[in-house]
Amino acid sequence: MQKRTLGKSGLEVSALGFGCMGLSFGYGPATEKTAAINLIRTAYDAGVTFFDTAEAYGPFTNEELLGEAFATIQDKPMIATKFGFVNGVPSQGLDSRPKRIRDVAEAALNRLKVDAIDLFYQHRVDPKIPIEDVAGAVRDLIREGKVKHFGMSEAGPESIRRAHAVQPVAALQSEYSLWWREPEKEILPALEELGIGFVPFSPLGKGFLTGAISDKTEFDQKDFRNTVPRFSADARKANQAIVDAIGAVAQKKNATNAQIALAWLLAQKPWIVPIPGTTKLHRLEENLGSASVELSPQDLNAIGDALSGIKVQGDRYSAHHQRLVNR
């Protein structure tokens, strides 16, 4: 697996990371622990050195899973985790008070079984707490050796700039994919200017871009996609045009939809590191194969042309969750 450096931070990771959320949270019942640990270790053995988790995923069980998976491995990968919710529960609201940040860090160190957190993200910007105070709290943890790098998630350009002035931001994690290109307007230019890496989550459109989901698909009752307007049956039916367009390119490149979607992201900037997640070994192998798919300028133009006339239907978040992003 090739390596990439997240901006000017010096944080070198595999070109593709692994988003661990779905193993414990968000997409229905948690994956059985032994199977989940096997998947994580398989990814590591295949060259993945960047794993993404959060106290909110479970809560807490996802961090514990990673801690157990890598407990006996001497050359540990880079692990990113997050703070920012009351008691680690998103539905209870935001909490980025400096004391809370410190408490989350101490607890995460124990669950992950590490001496320092490689990348510590603010999960969502908390309007009640000045972003300078948040950055300052993480700066203190970095000086104490408990955290190595500071990150932000779904933050807007102004918040990023203000935080970066206090403690350099190594990476921003936000949604970015062939069906959510909003970051191209203001976020990517700001990150390039400041030397900040970008970690796209949901790079496969929460599974939709793979072609495995149709308007007939029924999700588990605990699957959060049931609350996402873009995943209503009507929206899925309309958005099938995007999947078909990606599929046409994939066929020409002897690749899969997922591989084209991930290769497209990798081709955008050398400091972009997508973090696709999966609960299936064959999907992991498929995703990792995208790092070997080379898209020429002509291929990228063909993808752009194919999608230019297609309007994505449905918001990417419910109204409640939308209020938490781009602050």
Assign residue 169 the CATH number of its domain. Answer: 3.20.20.100
Q: Which residues pair with 85 in a beta bridge?
A: 94
Residue 154 has pLDDT above 80, yes or no: yes
pTM of the model: 0.97
State pLDDT tens for residues 159-204. Answer: 999 999 999 999 999 999 999 999 999 999 999 999 999 999 999 9
| Residue 256 included in any domain | no
Q: Which residues pair with 247 in a beta bridge?
A: none
Active site residue 57: yes
| Residue 241 included in any domain | no
Residue 326 has pLDDT above 90, yes or no: no
What is the reported pLDDT for 73?
95
| Residue 117 included in any domain | yes
Q: What's the count of helices (H) and strands (E) in the chain, helices before strands?
A: 11, 9
| Residue 314 included in any domain | no
State pLDDT tens for residues 10-26. Answer: 999 999 999 999 999 99
| Residue 68 included in any domain | yes
| Residue 121 included in any domain | yes
Helix (H, G, I), strand (E, B) or coil at 73: coil
Q: Residue 270: what are its φ and ψ, rounded to 5°?
A: -75, -10
| Residue 263 included in any domain | no
What is the reported pLDDT for 320?
77
| Residue 54 included in any domain | yes
State pLDDT tens for residues 47-65. Answer: 999 999 999 999 999 999 9
User: What range does the domain containing 289 cover?
Assistant: 3-205+268-293
Of 27, 44, 57, 176, the active-site residue reads 57
What is the reported pLDDT for 327?
87
Tell me how many domains the chain contains.
1
What is the reported pLDDT for 241?
97
